[in-house]
Amino acid sequence: MFSALRKSLQGDRSPASVRANLLAGLTVGIIALPLSMALAIASGVPPQHGLYTAIIAGVVIAMAGGSAVNISGPTAAFVVVLLPIVNEHGIGGLLIAGFMAGVILVLMGLARLGRLIEIVPYPVIIGFTAGIGVVIATLQIKDFLGLDIPSLDGHFTDKVVTIAQALETLDPAECLVGAVTLLVLLSWPRLNIKVPGHLIAVLVGSLLAWMLGGLGEDYAVATIGTRFQYELNGIGGHGIPPFPPTFSWPATPTDADGEPVGFTLELIRTLLPSAFTIAILGAIESLLCAVVSDGMSGRKHSPNDELIGQGIGNMVAPFFGGIPATAAIARTAANVRAGGTSPISSITH
């Protein structure tokens, strides 16, 4: 535990190295900001929970994990697992499942199971990842096209049918903003400019939405501020709460009808399969990410320490409103390319 942090503190601590890691962390933070909110929304929770996850879990895992450059936070792989938990047990149930997954990850690390994850067949990982991509893309079509769909329930085929039936409600303004943002995101790498494409895409899309809103209500595009509300300590508002994450007990779990239920042994039994799924997915993705980052940075990670660090992060995050987290390959790769060589960059992010 804390092996990556210890090695980094014993290594290069020159001002140039610290400065490079701070800049790398800032770069990744810019990328992670919209991603964390988007993945939280896709998981069925308000966007601020994605930010809380990136902040709390990201810092704890960076300090306690076994990889010097892994960047942890909400990831796309979890969306298909977390959304059903939120629908059935509410945010409280999700936070409890995340804590349970953290305990399982710590136990896996203590049992030195880090290397066993490497025997998972590569085609299985590719197939699973591709399936996740298809499911997430399907879930985003509703908002991308501005379709008037109250909720996308049922199995995958049911969702596709619901979307097809709602195509006549397409909102041209929202579709235009989504299409332009996606076009910028996909085409930006061809320009070979070091400014992150994610940042440019968000800025261009936001500017376009603001311009359309100025033309009148018929062209207004939904934003984080108009779609989400919050109430904290009796204070309500729109968008993201203007407060940092604070310690609190996870919200009360609910049943499928939204009625509160107690923290019982039955609830633990109900959430345990989901917690195992979250833990296994988190273990696979974080260790795959560590292997990829090793190849890019020339460093060597400690798989068991990484599992323990991921577990501790997922045990701490729920008490600050954080959802399950794991290492993200895209953000980690961006960290290494930006000059990140130590947990300083991950903590800065």
pTM for the model: 0.81
In tens, the pLDDT along 281-307 reads: 999 889 888 888 888 777 788 889 999
In this predicted structure, the answer to whether residue 251 has a pLDDT above a threshold of 70 is no
Higher pLDDT, 257 or 241: 241
pLDDT at 105 over 90: yes
Tens-place pLDDT, residues 171-197: 899 999 999 999 998 898 888 877 777
For residue 72, pLDDT beyond 90: yes
Percent of the chain scoring above 70 in pLDDT: 89
Q: Band of the pLDDT at 310, cuts 50, 70, 90?
A: very high
Contact present, 179 and 209 (Cβ < 8 Å)? no
Band of pLDDT at residue 198, cut at 50, 70 and 90: confident
Task: Give the model's confidence band at 166: pLDDT under 50 very low, under 70 low, under 90 confident, else very high.
Answer: confident
Which of 127-141, 247-261, 267-281 shows the lowest per-residue confidence on average (mean pLDDT)?
A: 247-261
Bridge partners of 326, per DSSP, are 73
Query: Could you tell me where the beta strands, DSSP code E, fall in 86-241?
Result: 229-232, 235-238
Taking only the tens place, the pLDDT of each residue in 115-146 is 876 677 778 777 777 887 788 788 888 888 88
Helices (H), 43-78: 48-64
Pick the residue with more confidence: 259 or 185? 185
CA distance 42 to 135: 11
Position 260 pLDDT exceeds 70 = no
Confidence tier at 3 by pLDDT (50, 70, 90): low
Contact 93, 85 (CB under 8 A): yes
User: Quick one: which H or E segment has residue 323?
Assistant: none
Could you tell me the CA-to-CA distances from 86 to 97, 182, 254, 298 in Å, in that order? 10, 28, 9, 40
Higher pLDDT, 53 or 134: 53
Domain ranges of the chain: 3-123+256-348
Average pLDDT, the chain: 83
- The set of residues, in sequence order, having a beta carbon less than 8 Å from that of 16 and lying 6+ positions away, is none
> Which residues touch 54 (CB under 8 Å, ≥6 apart)?
32, 33, 36, 73, 74, 325, 349
Residue 147 has pLDDT above 60, yes or no: yes
pLDDT higher than 90, residue 248: no
Look at residue 231 and tell me whether its pLDDT is greater than 80: no
Burial environment of residue 250 by CB neighbours within 10 A (0 to 12, 13 to 18, 19 or more):
buried
